[in-house]
Amino acid sequence: MVWSMFGFHGDYDEWLEWLAPHEPISQYRRNPTGEKNSDAHLGRPAMSRQVVFVTADGKLDFGPVAEDLLCGIP
Q: Which domains can be identified in the chain, with CATH numbers?
A: 5-69 (2.60.120.460)
Amino acid at position 26, single letter: S
- Find the distance separating the first CA and the last CA of the chain, reported in whole Å: 18
Confidence of residue 18 (pLDDT cuts 50, 70, 90): very high
Is the pLDDT reported for residue 27 higher than 80? yes
Dihedrals phi, psi of 60, to nearest 5 degrees:
-65, 140
Query: What pLDDT is attached to residue 61?
Result: 77
Confidence of residue 47 (pLDDT cuts 50, 70, 90): confident
User: 0.75 exceeded by the pTM?
Assistant: no
